[in-house]
A and B are shown apart, each in its own frame.
Chain A
Amino acid sequence: MDFLTLMQILDASLRLATPLLLACLAGLFSERAGIFDIGLEGKMLVAAFLAGAISATSGNVWLGLLAGIGASLFLSLVHGLASITFRGNQLISGVAINFFAAGLTVVASQSWFGQGGRTPQLSGAARFDPIVWPGAVTKIKDLRNADPLTQAYSELLSGHAIIVYVALLMVPLSWWVLYSTRFGLRLRAVGENPAAVDTAGISVVKLRYAAVLICGVLCGVAGAYLSTALQAGFVKDMTAGRGYIALAALIFAKWRPWYALSACLLFGFLQALALRPDVLERAIGLKVQVQLLDALPYILTVIILAGFVGKAIPPRAGGEPYVKER
């Protein structure tokens, strides 16, 4: 495997890791506040659909992004209503949200565009274009003859949609918010011991709603990225389990932002390899089953969960509705 191929695979890894990373950080905020969220998948899906649909009809990708975030926020509110206000089962609410999104996006896109559950192809201003950094080589022929440093710079660093860079910046930002601000301290506390937070005179309900809404915004960006940057338009079921992989990455990272980045890059790398089985075969000289690569994130998560590679301990109050003492 030559250097350029490696760069191409890493480049694909970064692009595929972006939605995982955003969804993973979304789940991190929610679960750190004690609200389990298996509805990441559904929120991404509605965001992908509405972002694709609004971008296609308005021709403006930024409007699409906003619409996607709005759709995701709506489902976040439903989840908050069910799991915070009505103290329902958070897992069941998440399952409902996922099905709702899977069904509604197809029904709505069919009645809106009549193209078999997809939105029209996006181009131009209706899509996030790659940002080419100054001095980057874009022609594949020039790139092949360039030195490794230029290759790495042009393939890996330059040429991504803005959301990719935003997602990467979200990691230090989340880390700072969670560990260096008062809000972050309270957020983490409400996921460990909500009664203590309540005793300190801080509203558990408000904090948890804030966390759930942050989760909605991030899932919205992740979904919009899928339909307006990674691909050009929404297709039925386009999240393809990414919400669950993000959940797996979150456990893998043991609910910490920087580890979430590495877990998502790893899972993105696995997805990129699954797209290029030929490269992998040449590299290790063995035929590798594509199905194994597909299943690897899930298998790794089960191994982590089994505690064979360190123990993943979730926030202590996760999944438990908070009932104020009377």
Chain B
Amino acid sequence: MDKMPKWADVILIPLISLFLAALGAGLVLMATGQDPIAALGVMIEGGMGSSRAWGYTLYYATNFIFTGLAVAVAIHARLFNIGAEGQALLGGVGVAVACLQVPWPHWSLAVIGALVSAAVFGGLWALIPAWLQAKRGSHIVITTIMFNFIAAAVLNYLLVEVMKPAGVMEPATASFPTATHLPSFADMLGVVGIPFASDAPANFAFLLAVLACGLVWLLIWRTRLGYEIRAFGHSETGARYAGISGVKIIVVTMMISGALAGMMSVNNVMGEAERLVLNASEGAGFIGIAVALMGRNHPVGVFLAAVLFGFLYQGGAQLSFQLQIPREMVTVIQALVILFTGALDQMIRGPLERAFLAARKGRA
């Protein structure tokens, strides 16, 4: 017998966690002498108040959908992938290689090429930690942390020594050719006559992210592989008795996870910056952890949590703009969300379960 109805698990607990995180963030703001209610007002106006605001919110959300899905897929196999950040950086290298090396005739072809290239780079970057976990038992959390740092060093090396055009000081690739530029929301909505701010970075990649949500749902709940992944995550020994190869599941799951993280770069590198710079992913890989935890590892949850974090990110930018509250405030909120939804889950769940049990007994 379940201790709690499903709606409490899926909706109530995340909402309580979110409320506690908001409370914590409010306390931090009050301690720094700011009015939390006014700050929230600025965030809502700046993150949702105009089409430009939505353009930024959905742009960030696109990044977080990809990295959130990446973390979520891995968690289904009980693998904690902290390496989405590094995989996203390498995905950026993949996008840059695809956009700069191939003379694409049209963006619709370029985006497919870039997507595949980003997925391959990100997936391969996840392959080594996966293989080490599967074959040598090295803890995937530690190896993926190490691979984040190695990825940063690799990107630094590539940009400074290999991919930087001659005669330029800044460690960045050349700008991608015009034929690879993705249409923005203003371009796409303009076709059907809906006006949208043209200076907002949200672009075609958002649709790809939504598509990815659907595909991940199909993968996890409607395919044989997804069943095997969930079985393995539920019980390693059980899965082994059912004839599921642990090595295969770890390697395949981590490569799918890395590929999803890598594909994020189609949004930020190809869709926005239109060139590859240092630290291109800007911590989105880590936000993916919060998004996956908050979204309960379900694509719909990940989508909603990603939009929420996109809003927080854009609203946070407005905070620093208008109230001189540093952008890092968003990092604090992110940490509190991870803490309450991830680590202190039992603190919220325990009393709630007892309350539901008591209510049920009262009725019976």
Contacts and interface: CB of A to CB of B under 8 A. Distances in A.
Interface of A: 38, 78, 81-83, 86-93, 95-104, 106-108, 110-111, 117, 241, 244, 247-248, 251, 289, 291-292, 294-295, 298-299, 301-302, 305-307, 314
Interface in B301-335: 324-326, 328-335
B343 A100 contact: no
SS of A interface (majority)? helix
SS of B interface (majority)? helix
B154 A92 contact: no
A212 B315 CA distance: 36
Contacts, number: 156
Nearest to A41: B145
A301 B146 contact: yes
B141 A91 contact: yes
Contact of A107 (B80, B293, B325): B325
| A-B pairs with lowest CB-CB distance, top 6 | A103-B331, A93-B343, A99-B335, A100-B335, A295-B153, A92-B342
Nearest to A295: B153
Given A108-B32, A111-B34, A247-B142, 8 more contacts: A38-B145, A98-B335, A99-B338, A107-B32, A295-B149, A295-B150, A298-B146, A305-B142
Contacts of B60: none
B32 A251 contact: no
Contact of B326 (A106, A241, A289): A106
A228 B343 CA distance: 32
Interface stretch (B197-205, B207-215, B231-239, B344-352): B344-352
A142 B162 CA distance: 45
Q: Quick one: which of B33, B80, B153, B324 has the most chain A CB within 10 A? A: B153
B80 A106 contact: no
A251 B145 CA distance: 13
B273 interface: no
B329 A107 contact: yes
B149 A289 contact: no
Contacts of A117: 326, 328
Q: Quick one: which of B80, B149, B350 has the most chain A CB within 10 A? A: B149
Interface stretch (B43-51, B132-140, B247-255): B132-140
Interface in B140-173: 141-143, 145-147, 149-150, 153-154, 156-157, 160-161
A78 B336 CA distance: 11
A174 B149 CA distance: 29
B344 A81 contact: yes
B142 A301 contact: yes
A266 to B, nearest CB: 16
Contacts of A301: 142, 146
Contacts of A95: 82, 286, 289, 338, 342
B4 interface: no
Nearest to A244: B145
Contacts of A92: 80, 289, 293, 338, 342-343
A307 B143 CA distance: 13
Contacts of B343: 82-83, 86, 88-90, 92-93, 96
A299 B150 contact: yes
Contacts of B345: 86, 88
A307 B324 CA distance: 49
A302 B150 CA distance: 10
A96 B338 contact: yes
Interface string B338-364: 110011111100100000000000000
Nearest to A301: B146
B32 A291 contact: no
A32 to B, nearest CB: 16
B174 interface: no
B28 interface: yes
Contacts of B128: 302
A192 B147 CA distance: 28
Q: Quick one: which of B147, B157, B286, B343 has the most chain A CB within 10 A? A: B343
B141 A82 contact: no
B146 A302 contact: yes
A307 B149 contact: no
Given A82-B339, A305-B143, A295 B346 contact: no
Given A291-B154, A302-B132, A110 B342 contact: no
Given A93-B343, A291-B154, A301-B146, A100 B336 contact: yes
A104 B24 CA distance: 12
12 contacts: A86-B345, A86-B346, A88-B342, A92-B80, A95-B286, A96-B336, A97-B339, A103-B334, A104-B28, A111-B325, A248-B146, A305-B138
A298 B332 contact: no
B338 A110 contact: no
B141 A38 contact: yes
A38 B325 CA distance: 28
Nearest to B332: A103
B345 to A, nearest CB: 6
Given A86-B347, A295-B149, A111 B342 contact: no
A97 B335 contact: yes
A118 to B, nearest CB: 12
Given A99-B331, A103-B329, A302-B147, A307 B141 contact: no
Given A92-B338, A95-B82, A306-B132, A107 B153 contact: no
B342 A96 contact: yes
B136 A103 contact: no
Nearest to A108: B32
Contacts of B160: 291
Contacts of A110: 32, 324-326
B49 to A, nearest CB: 24
A299 B157 CA distance: 15
Given A82-B339, A93-B343, A247-B145, A291 B326 contact: no
A24 to B, nearest CB: 14
Contacts of A88: 342-347
B153 A291 contact: yes
Nearest to A318: B139
A244 B149 contact: yes
